[in-house]
């Protein structure tokens, strides 16, 4: 099965989509990667879901990526004597270390790191920003604040700190346990939540030891400010617009989305646009026109993947949501303005042999109107370089390593096929031509361009281009 679009679809699975039959329907509707949200899945459920996804993978004969999304540090206020309180704009409200139930004047904040880090003038956003407090006095044990906006607060509501750099890592004890379990179960990608600085990736990478790639969710202003440093250490990025739109002005998010997607493309690293893309389809079989435009904007921008959250995890129409996103993406990529927009964002290749080869492969393929670019890739690096170029022609990524093919299922335009390593150059050409023919990317007599590293099997050493024609027997000539 080949997709007739190049942007990938990442579907979150949950109560509405956890059965194997539904997972297959989601794949057939267009899902390329499945996301397991560890905020809502225990280890047993995670292993069950992974088993079902791998069973679907075996049924359809295509590599499917799995992303485990770690919860990250969840900051919440304590409880109230009456469960909730009504506040008034302008009143004083205190957050402190006292575990006693709260009232209309104070509440317990069970996070000493916040009490120690917040400074006068910093904002505290409660319940996704529905209540805004501004710190007035801080002594390390309590925060005296004034109510700026909103009038309601209740038990265990989340706290966001857009102005405060917390001296805590991105991994909690729960995250470490979830990470170990996910790696043992064989996931392909690990998403890290609420990272603030590049150092937040170090521990996760030391634990992963190459068993999975890391995706950094950009959802805090501190991460946006240090995006270039985070980019150096991460394998992929996600524009997590939900929390980003709480901690930053909502009107700033579209520009940040463009900034992140373009920076990721320059770096040749996959980028996912997420949150509320087809939100109304949680309860409706059709999206709003604004949601369609939002999805289309991400596709026009050249994002590697677009993501569904509650729409596919808990909504009433999970398969329809994926199918709708698939149709939008296909239509955008056929739009006459799409190639010009994508080409305008292309950046100069790095001064390396592999980057120059990938750049040349795209130029040759488009100039000669070849049927496909076929990239041999063991680590996935060659496939990512080909995707970075955003060619008009399809990319077939051939790898002898199943895990590499699964990881590349998140990368723009890559059709991944698991195949044995070529024995020699003739076998390499024949194998590429046979697969292009078998996967319906070309017909007898069509030409393809092949990139690979010589000597064969050398990771990260792409240094060869070869144009070949598909022969009558399916081999190359």
Please check whether residue 395 is in contact with residue 449, taking contact to mean a CB–CB distance below 8 angstroms.
no
Please check whether residue 287 is in contact with residue 254, taking contact to mean a CB–CB distance below 8 angstroms.
no
Q: State how far the Cα of 459 lies from the Cα of 477, in Å rounded to an integer.
A: 26
How big is the CA angle at 88 (ends 86 and 94), to the nearest 5 degrees? 80
**35 given a catalytic annotation:** yes
Q: State how far the Cα of 370 lies from the Cα of 364, in Å rounded to an integer.
A: 8
**414 given a catalytic annotation:** no
Q: For the CA atoms of the chain, what is the radius of gyration?
A: 24
What are the CA-CA distances from residue 141 to residues 76, 108, 116, 454 (Å)?
A: 16, 11, 7, 63
Please check whether residue 134 is in contact with residue 123, taking contact to mean a CB–CB distance below 8 angstroms.
yes
Helix, strand, coil share (%) of the chain residues, nearest 5: 40, 25, 40
**217 given a catalytic annotation:** yes
Catalytic residue among 76, 211, 262, 392: 76
Catalytic residue among 12, 234, 275, 414: 275
Helices (H), 32-170: 43-60, 112-117
CA 49 and chain centroid, separation: 19
Q: Which two tokens stand for residue 322?
A: 């994926």
Q: 253-267 vs 289-301: helix axis angle to the nearest 10?
A: 30
Q: Which two tokens stand for residue 111?
A: 């996070």
Task: List CB contacts of 336: < 8 A, sequence separation 6 or more.
Answer: none
303, with CB counted inside 10 A (0-12, 13-18, 19+), is buried
**76 given a catalytic annotation:** yes
Q: State how far the Cα of 341 lies from the Cα of 338, in Å rounded to an integer.
A: 5
For the chain, give the longest Cα–Cα distance: 82
Please check whether residue 155 is in contact with residue 80, taking contact to mean a CB–CB distance below 8 angstroms.
yes
Please check whether residue 235 is in contact with residue 118, taking contact to mean a CB–CB distance below 8 angstroms.
no
Q: State how far the Cα of 68 lies from the Cα of 412, in Å rounded to an integer.
A: 20
Please check whether residue 18 is in contact with residue 52, taking contact to mean a CB–CB distance below 8 angstroms.
yes
Catalytic residue among 35, 197, 220, 390: 35
Catalytic residue among 6, 52, 79, 217: 217
Closest CA to 318 of 25, 9, 5, 2: 25
Count of CB atoms within 10 A of residue 379's CB?
Answer: 14
3-state secondary structure of 347: coil
Q: Which two tokens stand for residue 79?
A: 């409880």
- Residues designated as active site: 35, 76, 217, 275
């Amino acid at each position: 099965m080949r997709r007739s679009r190049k942007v990938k679809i990442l579907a979150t699975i949950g109560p509405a989509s956890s059965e194997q039959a539904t997972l297959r329907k989601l794949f057939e509707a267009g899902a390329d990667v499945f996301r397991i949200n560890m905020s809502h899945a225990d280890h047993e459920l995670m292993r069950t879901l992974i088993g079902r996804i791998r069973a679907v993978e075996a049924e359809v004969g295509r590599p499917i990526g799995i992303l485990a999304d770690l919860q990250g540090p969840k900051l919440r206020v304590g409880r109230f004597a009456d469960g909730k309180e009504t506040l008034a704009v302008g009143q004083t409200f205190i957050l402190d270390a006292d575990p006693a139930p709260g009232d209309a004047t104070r509440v317990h904040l069970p996070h000493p790191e916040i009490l120690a880090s917040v400074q006068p003038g910093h904002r505290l956003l409660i319940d996704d920003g529905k209540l805004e407090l501004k710190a007035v006095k801080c002594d390390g044990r309590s925060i005296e604040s004034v109510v700026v906006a909103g009038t309601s607060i209740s038990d265990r509501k989340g706290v966001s700190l857009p102005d405060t750099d917390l001296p805590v890592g991105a991994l909690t004890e729960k995250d470490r346990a979830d990470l170990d379990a996910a790696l043992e179960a064989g996931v392909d990608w690990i998403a890290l939540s609420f990272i603030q600085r590049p150092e937040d990736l170090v521990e996760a990478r030391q634990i992963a030891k190459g068993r999975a790639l890391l995706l950094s969710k950009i959802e805090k202003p501190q991460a946006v400010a240090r995006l270039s440093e985070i980019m150096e250490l991460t394998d992929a990025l996600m524009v997590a617009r939900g929390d980003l739109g709480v901690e930053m002005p909502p009107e700033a998010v579209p520009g940040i989305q463009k900034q992140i997607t373009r920076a990721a493309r320059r770096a040749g690293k996959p980028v996912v646009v997420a949150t509320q893309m087809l939100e109304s389809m949680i309860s409706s079989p059709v999206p709003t026109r604004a949601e369609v435009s939002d999805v289309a904007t991400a596709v026009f921008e050249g994002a590697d993947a677009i993501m569904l959250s509650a729409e596919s995890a808990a909504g009433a129409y999970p398969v329809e949501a994926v199918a709708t996103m698939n149709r939008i993406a296909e239509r955008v990529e056929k739009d006459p303005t799409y190639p010009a927009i994508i080409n305008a964002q292309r950046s100069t290749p790095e001064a390396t042999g592999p980057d120059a080869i990938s750049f040349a492969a795209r130029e040759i393929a488009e100039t000669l109107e070849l049927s496909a670019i076929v990239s041999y890739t063991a680590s996935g690096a060659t496939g990512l370089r080909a995707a970075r170029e955003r060619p008009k022609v399809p990319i077939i990524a051939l790898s002898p390593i199943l895990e590499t093919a699964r990881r590349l299922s998140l990368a723009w335009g890559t059709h991944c096929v698991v195949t044995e390593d070529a024995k020699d150059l003739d076998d390499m050409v024949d194998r590429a031509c046979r697969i292009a023919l078998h996967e319906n990317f070309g017909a007898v007599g069509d030409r393809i361009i092949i990139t690979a590293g010589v000597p064969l099997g050398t990771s990260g050493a792409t240094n060869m281009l070869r144009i070949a024609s598909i022969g009558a027997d399916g081999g190359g000539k």
